[in-house]
Structure formats: C-alpha cells, structure tokens
Amino acid sequence: GIQVEQSPPDLILQEGANSTLRCNFSDSVNNLQWFHQNPWGQLINLFYIPSGTKQNGRLSATTVATERYSLLYISSSQTTDSGVYFCAALLYGNNRLAFGKGNQVVVIP
Amino acid sequence: DTGVSQDPRHKITKRGQNVTFRCDPISEHNRLYWYRQTLGQGPEFLTYFQNEAQLEKSRLLSDRFSAERPKGSFSTLEIQRTEQGDSAMYLCASSYSGAAGRGYNEQFFGPGTRLTVL
C-alpha cells in the first residue's frame, strides 16, 4: 500500500514563529487531507487538498501531486496550535486513508 | 450538521469480555469507516461501508472483530474476547461519495472511543 512519511516528527516553536510541516507519499493520490488531533484525540479537518494551494486563516497547505508531497504552513503560531498534525492520503480506486505518523508540535509562550 | 458521534467515549473492560461501540455518521454521508489508533501512531484502517454493505476489511480485523451497518445509518463495532493488545482509540469516520469534485470522499472523524483492556 501507499507509504506516507511526515517530517519533522517533533517541533518546538516559540509563539509567533512560522513553521512548515512536510508530507511525502509514495504513489499517486486521489485525496490528501491534513488533520490536527487535539489533546482529547479528536481529528479536526484542516484541509482537503489533493493538489494546489489553499489557505485558512494562519494555516495554508500546498500539494504538488506530480512530486508526491504536501506542505502545511503555520504562520504566527499560537499555543492553541500545539498538538499532532496528521497527513493522510487516499490512492486512486481505494477507500482507506493511509496516515503518516504525525508531526508533534509544541508552541511555547 | 452535528458531525460524527461515537459512544461510549471511554470503555474499560477486563480481558475476555465483549465490547460494542456505536458510530453515528453525518446524516447525508453514505460511507462509513472504522480506524484504530495506538499510542504514538497514526490511525490505521479497519473496515468501511457504503450504505449497508461492508465493502472492505483490513487484515487487522481479526475474526474477533465484527462490524455492522444494518440500515445504512449508524454502525456498530464489536470486539469479542478482548485482549490487552486491543487497547487503543477506535475512530469512526464518514464521507459522501457523490459526484466527483470538490471535497469528494473527504473523511470526517468522530471523537473516538478509547478502549482499555485490563
């Protein structure tokens, strides 16, 4: 099946700093989603982005499908941005999301 | 839109007992998925339904696990003769597989059921 790798695995940020999280995937995808998992375990949808660029407030994401990677940008980070960010990909003709191991982000005040 | 709901949120059981979890998807979603997440890992796919039909099962879903979606609405996941290795967060997701386009098959997750097997 498809392999999804996220980097860096752990990131500590000072409040106000910017950061970039990367997701590499091993095959062509029909769907690419970014999630934020809150401390209670809930996965919050951030972006549905099989290709192109999207922005939502201080977050933006870019997927370059032909090069099999996606980036999540966090600007002017806040302590509420802390948590685990997951990238998940769906192969063409498939229905199971394949998740990476996540990026653990800690934003310190 | 009330989102995906799961019940219970937490379950503690003794090894060998049976447990059942429930998932209510977003109302207009015809696809429903179950995933399992262990500590420090991303969620792993278990099974999925389109309407009431169970169309795919992962090899992670041993014969002690059974899932149903009897009327194409809510779903249940039962684990029989629980083992300590079953301790995990069980996540349910739903999506709409209508016409391809923006948000096609975007999956939305519930809050999860955290299972602890003693």
Closest CA to B105 of A3, A45, A70, A84: A45
CA B15, CA B28: separation in Å to the nearest integer?
Answer: 37
B5-7/A98-99 β-pairing: unpaired
Q: What is the structure's pLDDT at B102?
A: 47
Low-confidence ranges of chain A (pLDDT < 50): none
DSSP 3-state assignment of A67?
A: helix
Q: What is the structure's pLDDT at B1?
A: 56
Listed by number, the residues of chain A in 52-91 with a beta carbon closer than 8 Å to a beta carbon of chain B are 86, 88, 90
**B118 burial type by CB count under 10 A (0-12 exposed, 13-18 middle, 19+ buried):** exposed
A59-64/B10-13 β-pairing: unpaired
Q: What is the structure's pLDDT at A69?
A: 97
Cβ-nearest to B106 among A4, A31, A99: A31
Return the amino acid letter for B62. Answer: S
Q: How far is A102 from chain B (nearest CA, A)?
A: 6
Q: What is the structure's pLDDT at B103?
A: 55
**B80 burial type by CB count under 10 A (0-12 exposed, 13-18 middle, 19+ buried):** middle
Q: What is the structure's pLDDT at B94?
A: 95
Q: How far is B14 from chain A (nearest CA, A)?
A: 23
- Using a CB-CB cut-off of 8 Å, the residues of chain A touching B109 are 35, 42-43, 45
Q: What is the structure's pLDDT at B100?
A: 53
Residue-level pLDDT, tens digit, chain B, 118 residues: 579 999 999 999 999 999 999 999 999 899 999 999 999 999 999 999 999 999 999 998 899 999 999 988 999 999 999 999 999 999 999 998 775 554 568 999 999 999 999 9
DSSP 3-state assignment of B2?
A: coil
Return the amino acid letter for B20. Answer: T
Q: Which of A95, A101, A104 to mutate to test the interface with B (most CBs of B within 10 A)?
A: A95
CB of A95 less than 8 A from some CB of B: yes
